Amino acid sequence: MARCYQCGKCSAGCPMGAEMALPPHDIMRLTIANDRERLFNDDSLWLCLTCETCSARCPNDVDPARVIDALRELAAGEGAEHAPRNIRAFHESFLEQIRSTGRLSEVGLIMQYKLRSGALLQDVAVAPAMLRRGKLPLRPQRIAGVGEVKALMAACERERGARAAPAAGGAAAPGAGATGGHHNGEDAR
């Protein structure tokens, strides 16, 4: 992170840059400055699509996409108020699907998202057509190594808990480590 010299190439290529109050170069600057308050009280972290364009464009081998992923986990660990409800619902549902089957089940993801977000009737009108066309397989597929996925995610949770304990009494540097992937399925606003 210290290699970031604020050239802005990451933000210039970011497909969500226009929607973010804090585009990736600003996120990098605030992370280096350890400004948790501004980082965690802004929706920008949660608008990132993890497309990794910013990381690919960086001339100095900084990895803003990975930093943002880590910041999201830190923010989520500090409290639900740090993420818009629908994005947090999607984030948690996505991870839960990966934890339980090792891959994404569209139907499972939709059901969990709806329960968590409260958006029970959103998009229900398109479901019959998607089912007819085979776009929503009803039977979740489980990968052979799902046990390893569970163990990996459990280890990440333990590590996050261990990091959060000392941070609760003082300021830990943001961006200390990622514990899970993230994909936004919906706009926060």
Residue 165 parent element (H or E): helix 146-168
Query: Which of 1, 111 has the CB closer to ligand SF4?
Result: 1
Query: Which of 32, 111 has the CB closer to ligand SF4?
Result: 32
Is the Cα dihedral 116, 118, 122, 127 positive or negative? positive
Task: Report in angstroms the alpha-carbon separations of 33 from 41, 48, 70, 128.
Answer: 15, 20, 16, 50
Among 58, 70, 95, 109, binds ligand SF4 (CB under 6 A): 58
State yes or no: residue 181 binds ligand SF4 (CB under 6 A): no
State yes or no: residue 52 binds ligand SF4 (CB under 6 A): yes
Length of the chain: 189
State yes or no: residue 75 binds ligand SF4 (CB under 6 A): no
Query: Which of 4, 109 has the CB closer to ligand SF4?
Result: 4
Identify which of 173, 163, 130 has the alpha carbon closest to the alpha carbon of residue 31.
Answer: 173
Provide CB contacts within 8 A for 170, sequence distance 6+.
none
Among 22, 24, 75, 112, binds ligand SF4 (CB under 6 A): 24
Residue 137 parent element (H or E): none
State yes or no: residue 7 binds ligand SF4 (CB under 6 A): yes
State yes or no: residue 15 binds ligand SF4 (CB under 6 A): yes
State yes or no: residue 182 binds ligand SF4 (CB under 6 A): no
State yes or no: residue 6 binds ligand SF4 (CB under 6 A): yes
Identify which of 114, 54, 48 has the alpha carbon closest to the alpha carbon of residue 85.
Answer: 114
Q: Which residues lie near ligand SF4 (CB under 6 A)?
A: 4-10, 14-16, 24-25, 28, 48-54, 57-58, 60, 62, 64-65, 68
